[in-house]
Amino acid sequence: MEYIIMIIGAVLVNNIILVQFLGICPFLGVSSKVNTALGMGAAVTFVMALATLVTSLMQKYVLEPLSITYLQTIVFILVIASLVQMVEIMLKKVSPSLYRALGVFLPLITTNCAVLGVAINVTQQTIIPGHGFSVIDNTLYAIAIAIGFTLAITIFAGLREQLELVEIPKGMKGVPIALITAGILAMAFMGFANLV
Amino acid sequence: MSNSKLNILTKGFFKENPTLILVLGCCPTLAVTTSVVNALGMGAATTFVLLMSNMLISALKNVIPDKVRIPSYIVIIATFVSMIDLLIQGFLPSLSASLGVFIPLIVVNCIVLGRAEAFANKNTVFDSLLDGLGMGIGFTIALTLIGGIREILGSGSFLGFQLIPAEYNMLIFVLAPGAFLVFGFVMAAVRYIVNKREEKKKHCAAE
C-alpha cells in the first residue's frame, strides 16, 4: 500500500516537470510530436532508474562511510555522464533497433537536470516514511518519477501538435505559447494536489 | 575599454539574453523565481560559476585534449558549483533552504556548459571573463524580472516589503502554473520588442 501511495505521489502529485520544474529543456525541446516524446520518456526512464541505483549505492557505500559527501555533486554528475556513455555504447552493440529509437536522446540526457535532480533529491529525503535510506526504494521512486515525466511530456506533445495549426501572434510563436500552455497544464495537475 | 570589449560584456544583457532569447537554463528560471531575493541569490551564484569556469576553461584551453573536453568542463564546473554550494550553506542558510537542490543543479545548467563550449574555448581569458560576467548578469536580469512580477502579483510584496494587502493577492502566481505563465508572457514581450527593433533597423537601412 505504501508503495502505491509513493507511486501516485511521484507520478501525479509531485510531477517532476509541472510541479518540481526539473527537466524543462527536453520538455520544451523534444515535445513537438507524440512519438518522439514517448521515445524520450523511455530513454529517461531507463537512464534515471539506472543512475539513481548507481548513485544511491555510491552514496551509501562510498561517500558516507568515507564522509566525503561534499563531493556529491562532482561524483554524481561524473557517474551519470559515464553511465549515459556506457549505455549508448552497449545499446549500439546489443540492440541496434532500440539504439536507433533512443540513440538521439541519450546524449541530451547527460545535461538533463531531472536525472541529477532526482539522484540528489533521494539522498536528502526519505522516500517512504520509516524505511530510512533504501537503495531499492530510491530506484522505484526514480522509475515512478520517470513515468510522471513521460506522462507530462506525452500529454504536452499532443497539445503542441494541435497548437501548430492555430494562428497566434508572431511574438508568441514557439516557446512563449508552449510555456503558457504548460502553465494551463500545470493548473490541471494542481487538481491532484491533495490526493495523497 | 574598447567598443568590442564592451560589446562582449553587454550582449548578454538583452540582445543575446541567455534565458529570454536563447532559452537556456529554464529549470532554475521557473523554480526559484517565487521571490526577488531567491532570484537574485540564484543569479549571483550562477554568475560566480559562469565567471570562474569561463576563466579557467579559457586559461586551460590549450592543455585540455579535444576529445575529453566535455568531461573536463563538467569537472571544472562541478568544482565551482560545490564551492558556491558550501559557501551558501555556511553563510546564507535561509537562501540555501529556499533554493534547495537547484544550487547543485547549476552543474547541468545549459548556460554554463554552453558558454564554455561556444565562447571560452576559443577566446582569451579576459574576453571569457567579460562574456561570463555579461551572461551571468543577463541571467540575473531575467530571473529578477520574472521574480519581481511573480512576487508582486502572487504575494503582493517586493523584496519583502508589502505593497498590496494580502486579500488581493493572486496565489496562483507563486505556485507552479504562475511560473510558466509569467515566463511565457515575459518572453513573448521581449521577443516582440526585439522584433520591432530589428524591423526598425532594416527600415532605416533601406532608406
Residue A168 C-alpha cell reads as: 497566434
Flag whether residue A117 sits within 8 Å of chain B, measured between CB atoms: yes
Using CA atoms, how far apart are residues B39 and B183, in angstroms rounded to an integer? 13
At A17 the three-state DSSP class reads: coil
Distance from CA of B45 to the nearest CA of A (A): 15
Which residues of chain A have a CB within 8 Å of the CB of B74?
77-78, 81
Establish if A57 belongs to a structural domain.
yes
pLDDT band at A104; cut points 50, 70, 90: low
Q: Find the mean pLDDT for residues A123-146.
A: 84
A149, A16 in Cβ contact below 8 A? yes
Report whether pLDDT(A196) > 80: no
Cα distance from B165 to chain A (closest Cα, Å)? 24
Looking at the domain assignment, is residue A44 inside a domain? yes
Residue-level pLDDT at A146: 92
Give the residue-averaged pLDDT of B177-186.
Answer: 90
Report the number of distinct structural domains present in chain A.
1
> In chain B, what residues touch A172 (CB-CB under 8 Å)?
188
Nearest C-alpha neighbor of A157 from the set A133, A135, A178: A178
- Which of A18, A72, A176 comes nearest B187 by C-beta? A176
Chain A positions in Cβ-Cβ contact with residue B85 (cut-off 8 Å): 73
Question: For residues B107 and A41, what is the distance between their CA atoms, to the nearest angstrom?
Answer: 22
- The complex's ipTM? 0.83
Mean pLDDT, range B51-56, rounded to an integer:
92
A133 part of a folded domain: yes
Q: Say yes or no to pLDDT of B1 above 70.
A: no
- Substitution target in B180, B182, B193 with the highest count of A β-carbons within 10 Å is B180
- For residues B142 and B136, the answer to whether their CB atoms sit within 8 Å is no
Residue B195 is predicted with a pLDDT of 83
**What is the phi/psi pair of residue B200, to 5°?**
-60, -45
The domain ranges of chain B are 3-206
Residue A85 covered by a domain: yes
Tens of pLDDT, residues B126-167:
889 999 999 999 999 999 999 999 998 888 888 878 888 877
- Provide the pLDDT for residue A111: 66
Chain B residues whose CB is inside 8 A of the A117 CB are 101, 105
Residues of B with CB under 8 A from a CB of A: 23, 26-27, 30-31, 71, 74-75, 78-79, 81-82, 85-86, 101, 104-105, 107-110, 113, 172, 175-181, 183-185, 187-189, 191-192, 195
Within 8 A by CB and 6+ apart from B19, the residues are B25, B26, B29, B111, B138, B139, B142, B143
Least confident interval from A28-32, A89-93, A136-140, B105-109: A28-32
Contact: A18, B176; criterion CB under 8 Å? yes
pLDDT exceeds 90 at position B80: yes
**Does residue A93 sit within a domain?**
yes
What the block records as the C-alpha cell of B79 is 568544482
Question: What is the average per-residue pLDDT within B2-31?
Answer: 82
Task: Tell me which residue in B113, B180, B188 faces A186 most closely, judged by beta carbons.
Answer: B180
Do B97 and B89 meet the contact criterion of CB atoms below 8 Å apart?
A: no
Q: What is the pLDDT of residue B160?
A: 76
User: Which residue in B108, B112, B185, B195 has the most chain A C-beta atoms within 10 A of its own C-beta, making it the best mutation to test that interface?
Assistant: B108
- Which chain A residue shows the shortest CA-CA distance from B111? A111
Upper half-sphere CA count for residue B132 (Cβ side, 13 Å) = 29
| Chain B residues within 8 A of A124 when measuring between CB atoms | 101
Contact criterion met (CB < 8 Å) for B184 and A179: yes
| Cβ contact B187–A71 (<8 Å) | no
Print the SS3 string covering chain B: CCHHHHHHHHCCCCCCCCCCCCCCCHHHHHHCCCCHHHHHHHHHHHHHHHHHHHHHHHHCCCCCCHHHHHHHHHHHHHHHHHHHHHHHHHHCHHHHHHHHHHCHHHHHCHHHHHHHHHHHCCCCHHHHHHHHHHHHHHHHHHHHHHHHHHHHHHHCEECCEECCCHHHCCHHHCCHHHHHHHHHHHHHHHHHHHHHHHHHHHHHHHC
Residue B158 CB partners (closer than 8 Å, separation 6+): B36, B148, B151, B152
Q: At what angle do helices A72-94 and B69-91 cross, to 10 degrees?
A: 150
**What does pLDDT average to over chain A?**
84
Question: How far apart (Å, rounded) are the C-alpha atoms in residues B72 and B66?
Answer: 10
Residue B181 to residue A21, Cβ atoms within 8 A: no
Per-residue pLDDT band for A70 (boundaries 50, 70, 90) equals confident
Pairwise CB contact (< 8 Å): B195 & A171: yes
Question: Distance (Å, rounded) from C-alpha A154 to C-alpha B31?
Answer: 22
Range of the domain at A80: 30-155
Residues in Cβ contact with B206 at an 8 Å cutoff, skipping those fewer than 6 apart: none
More confident call, B207 vs B201: B201
- Taking the alpha carbons at both ends of chain B, their separation in whole angstroms is 33
Closest-CA distance, B193 to chain A, in angstroms, reads: 9
Structure confidence at residue A102 as a pLDDT band (50, 70, 90):
low
Say whether pLDDT at B114 is over 70: yes
Chain B: nearest CA to A3, how far in angstroms?
24
- Separation CA A171–CA B194 (nearest Å): 9
Instruction: Report residue A52's pLDDT band, with 50, 70 and 90 as the boundaries.
Output: very high
- DSSP H helices, chain A, are 2-8, 24-29, 34-58, 72-94, 96-102, 106-110, 113-124, 135-163, 175-190
Phi and psi dihedrals of B158, rounded to 5? -135, 120
Cell of A58: 555510491
Euclidean distance between CA atoms A47 and A110, whole angstroms: 9
